[in-house]
Amino acid sequence: MKNAPAAVAADCGLADVPLHTDVWVCALQLDGAPQDHDVLLRLLEIGFLPGERLRVVARSFPGGDPLAVRVGRTTFALRRREAGLVRVSTTPPVLVRAQEQGQGQAEQPQPSAQLLLPPQELAA
C-alpha cells in the first residue's frame, strides 16, 4: 500500500521518507562535512541522480538504521546519515517531449535546472 504523498515534505531528506512512498531525487546536499564528499560521490555513482525515482522499502529494527532503498531495479542499504544527504520530493520531475527538442519521439527528462521544478512553479 502506497502512503499519501502529502505525508512527505516538498523537499526533505531521504531518511525522513515513509516506507513505500515514491519520491524523486532533487539534489544531493553538497554543503556537508568534508568527509561526506566520498559518500556523495558513491551515491552519484550508484544512481542517486537528480530526477531518479526512489522508494524506501525497509528499515532496520529498532533504530531504523540502515534503510533499504530501491533505485530502479536495484536495492541499496544506506545509513541514515548517508540517506540524509539525498534531498527528495514527492513531485515527479518535469518531462519534455524529445520531438520538441528535435531528438525523436520518446519523452526524456529535461537536462536543466527546470528538471527539478514542480509544474506549478514553471507556470509562474
Confidence (pLDDT) at 9? 53
How far, in Å, CA of 76 to CA of 19, rounded? 14
With beta carbons less than 8 A apart as the criterion, state whether 95 and 106 touch.
no
Per-residue pLDDT of the chain (124 residues; tens, 9 = 90+): 444 444 455 578 888 889 999 999 998 887 767 777 888 889 998 989 989 999 999 998 887 789 999 998 999 999 998 888 899 988 888 765 555 555 555 554 544 333 333 444 444 4
With beta carbons less than 8 A apart as the criterion, state whether 68 and 76 touch.
yes
